[in-house]
Amino acid sequence: MSERRLYLALFLGALCACALVTKSSAVSWNDRSRFATIESLVDRGTFAIDRSPFADTKDEYRYRGRLYSDKSPLLQLEGAAAAEAVRVFGISLGRAQGAAIYLTTLLTIGPWFALGIVYAYAFQRDLGFDRRIALAVALATGFATLGFPYAAVFSNPVPTGVASLAAIFHLRRASDRRVDAVLGGLFLAVAFAFDAGSVTVFLAALFVLLPVRPLSTIALAIAAIVPLVGLQLAYNRNVSTGFGPPALNQATWSDPHSPFYLAHPTVLRLAGPAAYAGYGVALLVGNQGLFSYSPLMLASLAGFVAMWRSDVPEKRVLAFAIAVSSIVYAALVWLQTQDFASSTYGDRRWVAISYLLCVPLGEVFLAARTSRIGRIALAALVAVSAAIAVLGTVAPFAPPPGIVYAWDALLNRTPLLRALDGAGAALLILVLLTTSWKATAPTPDTWRLAARISR
């Protein structure tokens, strides 16, 4: 199969997987807030959500007498385009609401999820790994992380993570390809527009671009970044009291009409070092843990070490860039949120960096070819992570502990649905296990490939 056909097969396969798990209802403040904007844009041509039936959400604020979603608008604009398209068939958020939510989510989030798997594959090929390793990493990136559960609902983590991955992919190739400089800058701006917290990815872009790129390449990337970022800041200024995200704007939150007013009149803060330490544990290995909900990230840590020890300066730069931007992102989450009781499966914010964190997995799969114990351990990590991810698709917005809640929700389904869910989960885990096992199978050229990649 040619590379182009494989790209198409990966994209369509991932989109079909999304179609099986996408939700047909808005069950959280997060997605109700976004659908309120979509419904208002489609039906009334305004970002104000006062008259929307989805406005019974806490992710909102009042400005100059109008009610607005506190979410950045780009994803909702995409959703509005999808909602307008299905409206032609008589399906709208006012009529046939369940079908409209399902199709809007699938047509908006689904392509981003599928694109993420394609870029994960392309990134590994660009780093020099063979097809088997690239395919195993791509499937693990999509289906063995929290990306899969959050591809089932209308939320921004998956698009943010995919845009970040695509940005670094293109910026790495930008030295002799001007189109990559433009695409890299554009994807970087898109990631920021989806989630202002992904501004940390600009650090990765900076480290990747500056050491080896001519000024003309950097100028092209900046030229692609500025328009969309400027539009985002102008939107913020037009519908709130400042240029920053309305949800983090002190003056907006100080409005007595804000649901955050009494609890958080300024910014989110925890009471003392012990509370911060406990929250850090929760975010890493607890109810919202990066490693407890995506054990495969343990293998990624080993991959970062391998990249850092590489003789190839560009690989060390890439590992350093991703590590620094991810650490800064995690630090901001730790310092600026206090969601001990967040109703999400794990913490959805981890998805925004999980696509980049999976980049070093190619090194781990290659190393596993030389160790039977490593091969078995990696396969086990992939299987466990995939099982946790699949379970998360049952209830992506789940009260803590999310795994327990999702498992109870699964058991409460009808016997037929439980059987179908079980069969689908078993098939997906089997595919990932088989792909991973083949990717780590020793080959006659294993050592030669390892030597070539390390050079």
DSSP 346-411: S-GGGHHHHHHHTTTHHHHHHHHTT-HHHHHHHHHHHHHHHHHHHHHTT-SS-PSSHHHHHHHHHH
Q: With 90 as the cut, is the pLDDT of residue 2 above it?
A: no
CA–CA distance, 130 with 284 (Å, rounded to integer): 32
**Structure tokens belonging to residue 315:** 């690989």
CA atoms within 13 A on the CB side of 303: 24
CA–CA distance, 401 with 259 (Å, rounded to integer): 24
Q: With 60 as the cut, is the pLDDT of residue 375 above it?
A: yes
Nearest CA to 156 out of 114, 201, 190 is that of 190
The pairing of strands 60-63 and 66-69 is antiparallel
CA–CA distance, 245 with 85 (Å, rounded to integer): 29
Q: With 90 as the cut, is the pLDDT of residue 343 above it?
A: no
Candidate from 144-148, 307-311, 355-359 with smallest mean pLDDT: 307-311
Residue pair 369/392 in contact by the 8 Å Cβ criterion: no
Q: With 80 as the cut, is the pLDDT of residue 129 above it?
A: yes
Residue scoring higher pLDDT (280 or 107): 107
**Structure tokens belonging to residue 393:** 């698709």
Q: What is the mean pLDDT of residues 88-104?
A: 88
CA–CA distance, 277 with 150 (Å, rounded to integer): 27
Domain map (residue ranges) of the chain: 3-454
